[in-house]
């Protein structure tokens, strides 16, 4: 394979080729798309050193200088849309529609952050001594380690770096091994926009190197804060390593989003939104609807409409949706098999369907789901959704909250007061009334509760995560 087919890193603003490489395989075709550099601990140290070297100068740049770079980056990302979407589709098996939506949100995110940079401000509090004055300043941390996943790579990769960089930090982006070219492209866009060398550095590695490289990055004395988006299991490891090194961390982890469909809901809208929320990107979104809690008085009618919308949005006569790998399909089929072995029934779809690839699976709707089934508790992260019958508000809240996760949720009702009652009681970082659980936009803080993580991305909250307060006093 030619050198041009190997994804390099960005270290100190220049292409960097590691000693080893690994194959990046398309889940849609099963073929090698390209190879990627395989970072080791020495490569990781070089990336951190580059970020640490760039920090003193970058932190001194003005808000308008950073803003102009960000706005230029948004313009370049838009102009390179076709190229960037191609990387995304090739590496993750996602659709062009999903890839373009990723670009839409990433561009909007960059523009939104650009407009908020000047909102980082300090204060002059009144002190008890009239002869003493005080200033409270906001300081960037220094080097930030950002770790982002593949499933919405342009959205999640972009947000992992733009907030720290906007606040005056420098970043090492540890890109997912499943979409390294996609993550490379984010850094490429910002360098083309004029981001100084060393401010944004990238690495990637095969899974076997994850433990050593991640541990070395987190323990590096230059790294001051971490953000991680990914599974709860890996998030616990990141949190433990950060705790051992006394470093703050922002975690956006897994979900098991409920959608409550009340008896007065607009069933056409509820069915459409639940179909999208459950099966968009093959259910491989941390905000995906995994449990639909339907009032018994409308359950039968709702299920009919849900099946109609699933077939309309994901036509059975078209190619099957692609998941990231065969293991993801196997996990979902195992969860379905466990549930069916103890009483669940298939309402729509065929878990045993033979597909052209082991990474393909069509949507499945499961009924008669109870809490003694694995699928009731475990995040599927795939094209399966469970129907659970409810009768009272109290029962709905109890089931909605009967999970370790708390990222997002949805409620469908024509009574806003009831919708708000539900919203205040559901233990999740977001509740969307009469729209799907998958909802992420630049102006809304995004993050979870319970085992879905802590800290926030997006909006002003997302920017303030990346500065710390310093008190300065002086005698008048």
- The verdict on whether 263 is a catalytic residue reads no
- The verdict on whether 36 is a catalytic residue reads no
What are the beta bridge partners of residue 138?
Answer: 469
Alpha-carbon distances of 180 from 10, 143, 186, 466, rounded to whole Å: 12, 21, 10, 25
Helix axes 393-400, 416-425, angle to 10 degrees: 40
Calculate the CA 339 to chain-centre distance. Answer: 28
CA 141 – CA 125 distance, rounded (Å): 23
Which residues 6+ apart lie within 8 Å of 317 measured at CB?
none
The strand order across the sheet containing 410-412 reads: 345-348, 364-367, 384-390, 289-295, 257-261, 410-412, 432-433
Among 36, 274, 286, 380, which one carries the catalytic annotation?
A: 286
Among 36, 91, 177, 252, which one carries the catalytic annotation?
A: 252
CA 20 – CA 206 distance, rounded (Å): 10
Active site residues: 252, 286
């Amino acid at each position: 394979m030619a050198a041009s087919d190997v994804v390099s890193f960005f270290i100190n603003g220049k292409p960097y080729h590691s000693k080893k490489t690994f194959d990046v395989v398309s889940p849609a075709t099963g073929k090698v798309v390209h190879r990627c550099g395989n970072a080791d601990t020495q490569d990781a140290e070089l990336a951190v050193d580059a970020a640490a070297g760039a920090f003193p100068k970058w932190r001194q740049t003005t808000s308008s200088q950073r803003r102009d770079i960000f706005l230029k980056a948004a313009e370049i990302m838009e102009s390179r849309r076709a190229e960037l979407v191609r990387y995304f589709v090739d590496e993750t098996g996602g659709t062009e529609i999903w890839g373009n939506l990723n670009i839409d949100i990433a561009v909007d995110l960059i523009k939104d952050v650009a407009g908020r940079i000047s909102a980082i401000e300090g204060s002059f509090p009144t002190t008890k001594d009239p002869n003493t004055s005080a200033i409270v300043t906001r300081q960037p941390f220094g080097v930030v380690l950002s770790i982002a996943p593949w499933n919405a790579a342009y959205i999640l990769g972009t947000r992992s770096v733009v907030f720290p960089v906007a606040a005056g930090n420098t970043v090492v982006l540890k890109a997912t091994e499943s979409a390294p070219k996609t993550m490379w492209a984010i850094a490429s866009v910002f360098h083309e926009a004029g981001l100084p060398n060393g401010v944004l550095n990238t690495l990637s590695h095969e899974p076997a190197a994850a433990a050593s490289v991640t541990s070395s990055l987190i323990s590096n004395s230059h790294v001051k804060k971490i953000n991680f988006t990914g599974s709860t299991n890996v998030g616990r490891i990141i949190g433990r390593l950060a705790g051992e090194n006394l470093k703050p961390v922002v975690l956006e982890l897994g979900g098991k989003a409920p959608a409550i469909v009340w008896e007065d809901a607009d069933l056409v809208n509820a069915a459409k939104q639940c179909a999208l929320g459950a099966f968009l990107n093959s259910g491989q979104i941390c905000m995906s609807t995994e449990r639909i809690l339907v009032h018994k008085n409308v359950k039968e009618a709702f299920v009919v409409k849900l099946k109609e919308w699933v077939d309309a949005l994901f036509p059975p006569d078209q190619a099957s949706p692609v998941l990231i790998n065969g293991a993801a399909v196997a996990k979902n089929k195992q969860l379905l098999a466990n549930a069916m072995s103890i009483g669940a029934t298939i309402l729509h779809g065929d878990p045993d369907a033979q597909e052209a690839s082991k990474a393909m699976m069509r949507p499945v709707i499961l009924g008669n789901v109870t809490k003694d089934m694995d699928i009731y508790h475990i995040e599927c992260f795939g094209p399966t959704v469970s129907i659970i019958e409810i009768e009272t508000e109290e029962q709905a809240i109890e089931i909605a909250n009967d999970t370790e996760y708390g990222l997002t949720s949805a409620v469908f009702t024509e009574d806003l007061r009831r919708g708000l009652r539900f919203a205040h009681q559901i233990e999740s970082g977001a509740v969307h009334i009469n729209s799907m659980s998958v909802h992420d936009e630049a102006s809304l803080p995004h993050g979870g509760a319970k085992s879905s993580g802590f800290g926030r991305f997006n909006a002003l909250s997302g920017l303030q995560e990346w500065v710390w307060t310093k008190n300065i006093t002086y005698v008048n």
